[in-house]
Amino acid sequence: MEMRKRTIFISGGSSGIGFALAKKLIGMGNKVIICGRSADKLSAAQESAPGIHAIRCDISKKADIESLNESIVQKFPEVDMLINNAGIQRQIDFLKGPEDLLSGEDEIQVNLRAHVYLSAYMIPILAKRMESAIVNVSSGLGFIPMARYPIYSATKAAIHSFTMSLRSQLSATNIKVFEVIPPIVYDTCLKGKPQPPAENGITAEEMADIIVSGIEDNKYEITAGQTKKWMEMPKEEADRTFQTINKKIN
């Protein structure tokens, strides 16, 4: 799929993978719109990559998703790609009962519900284009869960499932449906602030390059690092990998 001269909306493009992708896509001659909660982060992104359009919103709120969709349709009616990228990750200890669960942001709303709703709002618009796409960002942890991030891992497994169903439902339309399955991407704000280089990790710029070439090659499941192996593992090996990566906390 051609990745030039498109109008692309990226949820959460103000840092990390989304921002690296926005910068790369702007450089390739696309119109790019990003969103996020922090006005400061959006302004910093626009300063560092002039040309990016930004809309402030909180996609955990249904009303914000509705007004976000209205703004996109009014200001960028030619939009032909939705990249469902925004995400949060929280440690939740169920031994504390609902304490951790109720004391922070709701990962189900941000990582899953928002992407389902944004897709539903935008499909009728994307269906009118000659060629368009929805790109959902899941995670290797959707295939091998990290127990300390139980809801995060579950939402990413759900995104994989949702993406498969959407691809099937939209197969007779002009909308292509991609899934991006990143490994550890260490220079992002997912853990609050950028992390030092990690074993098996890659940079956000490297991930952005892999995403763009994957879409150009019509590779519908875009993996990187160990995530291809994680997706394709037989169950026994996946169970062993689960035990290994969770050993420290069990």
Ligand X SMILES: NC(=O)c1ccc[n+]([C@@H]2O[C@H](COP(=O)([O-])OP(=O)(O)OC[C@H]3O[C@@H](n4cnc5c(N)ncnc54)[C@H](OP(=O)(O)O)[C@@H]3O)[C@@H](O)[C@H]2O)c1
> Which residue in 12, 145, 150, 225 binds ligand X (CB under 6 A)?
12
Report in angstroms how near the CB of residue 36 gets to ligand X at its nearest.
Answer: 3
Q: Rule CB under 6 A: is residue 189 a binding residue for ligand X?
A: yes
Q: Rule CB under 6 A: is residue 30 a binding residue for ligand X?
A: no
> Which residue in 7, 139, 163, 223 binds ligand X (CB under 6 A)?
139
Q: List residues bridging with 221 in a β-sheet.
A: 179
**Stretch 145-174: interaction string toward ligand X, x if CB under 6 A:** ------------------------------
Q: Rule CB under 6 A: is residue 10 a binding residue for ligand X?
A: no
Residue with smallest beta-carbon separation from ligand X? 16
For residue 60, the tally of other CB atoms under 10 A from its CB is 19
Question: 227: which 2 tokens?
Answer: 């995530």
Report in angstroms how near the CB of residue 31 gets to ligand X at its nearest.
Answer: 18
Q: Rule CB under 6 A: is residue 16 a binding residue for ligand X?
A: yes
Report in angstroms how near the CB of residue 172 gets to ligand X at its nearest.
Answer: 28
Nearest to 184 by CA among 199, 196, 201: 201
Q: Rule CB under 6 A: is residue 17 a binding residue for ligand X?
A: yes
**Stretch 46-75: interaction string toward ligand X, x if CB under 6 A:** -----------xxxx---------------
> Hey, what amino acid is at 249?
I
> Is 85 or 163 the residue whose CB approaches ligand X more closely?
85
Secondary structure of the chain in HEC code, one letter for each residue: CCCCCCEEEEECCCCHHHHHHHHHHHHCCCEEEEEECCHHHHHHHHHHCCCCEEEECCCCCHHHHHHHHHHHHHHCCCCCEEEECCCCCCCCCHHHCCHHHHCCCCHHHHHHHHHHHHHHHHHHHHCCCCCEEEEEECCHHHCCCCCCCHHHHHHHHHHHHHHHHHHHHCCCCCEEEEEEECCEECCCCCCCCCCCCCCCEECHHHHHHHHHHHHHCCCCEEECCCHHHHHHCCHHHHHHHHHHHHHHHC
Report in angstroms how near the CB of residue 193 gets to ligand X at its nearest.
Answer: 9
Catalytic residue among 117, 149, 152, 186: 152
220 among known catalytic residues = no
> Which residue in 182, 214, 224, 231 binds ligand X (CB under 6 A)?
182
Which residues are near ligand X by CB under 6 A?
A: 12-18, 35-38, 41, 57-60, 85-88, 110, 137, 139, 182, 184-185, 188-190
Catalytic residues: 152
